[in-house]
Structure 1
Amino acid sequence: MTSLTLPLKFDLKNVHFTDEQFYQLCINNPDLTLERDAQGALILMSPVGGESGNTELELGIDLGIWNRQTGLGKVFSSSTIFRLPGGGSRSPDAAWVELSRWQALTPEQRQQFPPIAPDFVLELRSRTDSLPPLQEKMWEYLNSGVRLGWLINPQDQQVEVYRQGQPPEVRSLPTTMSGEAVLPGFTLHIERFEP
């Protein structure tokens, strides 16, 4: 997906969205997919194509099935924006939050953009995505408290695994991923992608 980033902090006009203004901007423009990075830049995301959309949903289904079986947390789609403690407002392609952390939020916080970093995030690089902005997004997740992240990169036939306090681990496809201590018992086999 191609994205356009607009800086929103200007010395001349001092343009800056509060969390509530950003929420209203998103609600008032439901046809737009918007995010903010940790510096407050507005990011307009384009829709993904059929292959990426299908793969994204299939990965989310696998995560959801595991969660239904374990009941350990809540699973979220790419339509969910999280207000990260580091300042960004991001929507991973799939995310998971441990149940007690989710239940600690107020009902109003759960209804709007939850002010919490997921425990696990998954990002899928679509055909038109540039890799460096996705890698920056993964670091933003870690800096906000995400414990485990997978960046699936079909173009390079690999997965980058992001963990707290460690450099990313790059795995070639096919590979079997483990949810480690974050998603106990969750495994996902990822085949090579067709060109």
Structure 2
Amino acid sequence: MTTVVLNLENVDLSDEQFYRLCQVNRDWQFERTAKGEIVIMSPVGGVSGNREASLITDVNLWNRQTQLGIVFSSSTIFRLPNGGDRSPDVAWVRLERWSALTEEEQEKFPPICPDFAIELRSRTDAIQPLREKMQEYLNSGLQLGWLINPQDRQVEIYRRDRTVEIVQFPVSLSGEDVLPGFVLNWPLA
């Protein structure tokens, strides 16, 4: 299955209605763009699933040592300030920002943009929608993001108030001042 985008122009779907739509259709993975389009995500294959698990593991191991924030998987939908509801493949939020949310906000789709996010392009993903998604994160407050693109053997690095930097594989990525001391070597061993 490929990704499907439903145009809901002139259909106002509240945050609560979108949340309920996701809850009653748990076998489907939805996102909602800032334009209000519903994106039905296709499941990933074994290679992409393994890469994603490795990325989450690396970020989580760093976070366990530093205890600076909270790590999230691709199953987590974030309600972004610009109106989108998005699920990065890997996300991290600073502990003080996460703790400022109410228990109900933490339990549902957190109304917060991750400080750090990774999008991993799978074999069936078109690159342009992923770039638009990364820009949506930046517009919502993302501090650092990596779009890992194995097909083109490159990583696009997204930072606040800077142009996108593109680096070729192999690469050693720094968490910079967002994830201090975190380094990811790609491709993974």
- For normalisation by structure 2, the TM-score amounts to 0.98
Counterpart code for 1:3: T
The match for 1:109 is: 105
**1:63 lines up with 2:82 in the alignment:** no
Q: Which amino acid aligns with 2:136?
A: E
CA contact (8 A) 1:173 1:192 kept: no
Match of 1:4 in 2: 4
Secondary structure of 1:160's counterpart equals: strand
Separation of aligned partners in 2, 1:23 and 1:49: 26
Aligned residue for 1:27, secondary structure, equals helix
In structure 1, the partner of 2:30 is: 34
Match of 2:41? Answer: 45
- Give the partner amino acid of 2:16: E
Query: In the TM superposition, what is the alpha-carbon distance from 1:191 to its structure 2 partner?
Result: 2.1
Query: Aligned in 2, Cα 1:5/1:167: closer, same or farther, shift over 3 Å?
Result: same
Which 5+ residue runs of structure 1 have no aligned equivalent? Answer: none
Tell me which stretches of 4 or more aligned residues in structure 1 moved more than 6 Å: none
Distance 1:61 1:192, change over 3 A: closer
Aligned length: 189
Where in structure 2 are the equivalents of 1:49-128 lying within 5 Å? Answer: 49-128=45-124
Instruction: Specify every segment of 5 or more residues in structure 2 that has no aligned partner in the other structure, as ranges.
Output: none
Query: What is the identity percentage for the equivalent residue pairs of Structure 1 and Structure 2?
Result: 60
Distance in 1 (CA, whole Å) between partners of 2:154 and 2:72 is 23
TM-score by length of 1: 0.95
Flag the 1:192–1:67 CA change in 2: closer, same or farther, 3 A: closer
Q: 1:40-83 CA deviation, whole Å, 9 max, x = no partner?
A: 11000000000000000101100000000000000000000000
